[in-house]
Structure formats: structure tokens, C-alpha cells
Amino acid sequence: MGGMTGLVMAGLLGTSGVAWSLDVGDVKQEWTAEGRKLAAERIKLPAYDEMVRIQAGPFTMGSDKKTDKNAYLVEMPQRSVYLDAYEIDKYEVTTVQYLKFVLATNRPPQVDWKFDGGNFQETMVSHPIMHVTWYEADEYCKWAGKRLPTEAEWEKAARGETDTRIYPWGNEMAGLSRANFGRTGLSGPVRDRPERLLLYPPIISVFKYDNAASPYGVFQMAGNVAEWVSDWYDKDYYKTAPDKNPKGPDKGSQKAFRGGGWIDSTPSVRVSQRNGTDPKTSMNWMGVRCARDAKAGDAPETAPAQPIVTP
């Protein structure tokens, strides 16, 4: 099924539960007094917490093998689905945003915050948060006055309305200038230095690749980190999902995630690509983006850009 690169890597790094020692996810960090003081200053840094309003209306959900040769059965059938208006984060949740949550809820530092008494490196200030479980992602969004987006909301924000584009920017293949992902496998710096898989991966700032934003102007819906969504994952859900505001199955054993991460291959960063994993999974390729219901009288609704036609 889709996202095989990510799932294989997940198995190597811990999703299977048999090789947690290969990742740093089982290491616990602690604050020092000086570290907390520095963190209290760090939360004043830019957080890139803008949101984009997505107008109410239908969009084309799922894939058609005739137009997308990389489509998987879990993405079919392709059909029109109506969503009420909502807002979604313009960028992936950053380390600064998550640090505010950590301090406000008296949590320990993230596993990769191992500098200056529990802080992240200065170069990580505008990077997406990673190593968050579904439960932590859900708690963060609720703390921020938001919620996790549904699969359908995530997909509409990435694709637009009637355009059946394969990637957020159109049908042109992803490449070095559009997304941070593994392309045909692991990206160069990781392939050349596999020990980096155990440490800090090649994550980039959330505002990069403005040439690859979705029709609504949402950044990095492909690559960098994969993003948790609210739905329980069911490989057959697109066959039975309602045509209005689908929210996923009532129960399950895995939670869905979307968008692909820095380790993933080309098929895994398509807008319709679906995957699921244990909600307790905490990996260096998994992050979060939040959403919230739109309210009457909010900012004007954002219409998607004109469809991009590519050969």
C-alpha cells in the first residue's frame, strides 16, 4: 500500500515496537532551572501560527488510477465530498508553538530538545515539531483552542476544490525545489550519513517552498513531517464515507496521518496518499497541523487559486 518507504522506515525505527532502540524516542529529557528560563524567553520568538480559512463547498476527494498511476486502493473511489467552512494552520506546528504548550502544561522537554538545559537548537526555531504521538498532537490542538483536522479537511486544504491535482502545486512531479522528502529513497545527507537517522533529521523551516503551497496557500502539505489527523484509519473508509463532512470511523486501532515526511518517496507525498499507525507512535518524521471550525463573521473565506494545468 502507499507510503511504503515511510512504513518500512517506521518499522526500522520503532512503529513495530521491536526496534525502539534505533530511535531516540525512548529517551527522556529534563529541564534545568536555567533551561526553563531560556525556554520562557524562547516562546516570545515568531511562531508562524497563522491560519487559513477554507470556504464551504465540495471538493474532489480520493484518487483515480487513470490520472494518477501511483494511486492505491485505499484512496478510491474518487468522488465529490462537501465540507463546511473551517480554518487550518498555514504552516506545520513549530517548535516555538509547541514549547508554549509544554511550559503551560508543565511537561518535560521533547526528546530532541537536548541543548541548554532542555531547549532546542537555535536552528530549530522555525522547524516543525516532531516526536509527538497522536494523543499529544490532539492535546496540543485542544490547548491551542483548535482541533486536529479530519482526513477530508486535510485533503481539501492540500488539493483545492474541483481540481484533481496530484500534488499541492499541481501534477508536476515533486522534486528538489518543491518539497523536503526522500524522493527515490532517503535524501542525500541521510543516505550518506545514516547515523543522522538516530539523531536530528534533515527537517527544514515551515515557511520554505512558497512555490509549492496548496491552492489555498497552505505550506508543506507534502514532505518535511507527516501530519496526524483526527480520524481512525480504515483502509476501506473512502468506499463508505458520507458525502458530507466525513469524520472517519467510530473506532479503530490506528490513527490516520497525511502528507508524507522527509524520509518518504514520491508516491507518499501526493495529496490523496493515506496511511495509519498506532496513535502512540512518536517518530522524527511525524508532526502536526491543527484546524478549527469556522465561525460566522470571521475573516473572509479563502478561495483556491486557479487550477494548475501541467503536462
Amino acid at site 185: G
- DSSP one-letter code for 127: S
86 closest CA partner among 299, 242, 230, 271: 299
Tell me what pLDDT residue 298 has.
57
94 vs 57: CA distance, rounded Å: 29
Report the range of poorest mean pLDDT among 22-31, 64-73, 208-217.
Answer: 22-31
**Integer Cα distance of 77 and 67 in angstroms:** 13
For residues 26 and 110, the answer to whether their CB atoms sit within 8 Å is no
Residue-by-residue DSSP string for 201-253: -----TT--GGG--TT----SSBSSEEEEEEEP-TTHHHH--SBS----S--S
| 86-89 and 291-293 beta bridge pairing | antiparallel
- CA-closest candidate to residue 57, choices 309, 302, 297: 302
Helix (H) / strand (E) element for 27: namely: none
pLDDT confidence tier of residue 1, bands split at 50, 70 and 90 = very low
- What number is the average pLDDT over the span 254-266? 93
Res. 310 pLDDT band, cuts 50 70 90? very low
Q: Say if residue 255's pLDDT is above 90.
A: yes
Q: What's the pLDDT at 175? A: 76
What does residue 247 show for φ and ψ, rounded to 5 degrees?
-120, 10
| Residue 176, pLDDT above cutoff 90 | no
What length does the chain have? 311
Inform me whether the pLDDT recorded for 232 exceeds 70: yes
The residue among 3, 6, 14, 12 whose CA lies nearest residue 263 is 6
Does 309 score more than 60 pLDDT?
no
71 has pLDDT over 80:
yes
Q: What per-residue confidence (pLDDT) applies to 297?
A: 63
Biggest distance spanned by C-alpha atoms of the chain: 59
Contact 42, 121 (CB under 8 A): no
Give percent of the chain above pLDDT 70.
Answer: 81
Asked whether the predicted pLDDT for residue 77 surpasses 80, the reply is: yes
- Nearest in space to 19 (alpha carbons), one of 283, 257, 228, 263: 283
Task: Retrieve residue 82's grid coordinates.
Answer: 462537501
Residue 253 pLDDT greater than 80, yes or no: yes
DSSP H/E element including 73: none
pLDDT cut 90: percent of the chain above it? 74
Beta strands 286-288 and 226-232, pairing class? parallel
What is residue 124's three-state secondary structure? helix
Selected residue with higher pLDDT from 155 and 6: 155
Tally Cβ neighbours within 10 Å of residue 29.
Answer: 17
Give the tens place of pLDDT for each residue, 102-155.
Answer: 999 999 999 999 999 999 999 999 999 999 999 999 999 999 999 999 999 999
- The pLDDT assigned to 194 comes to 55
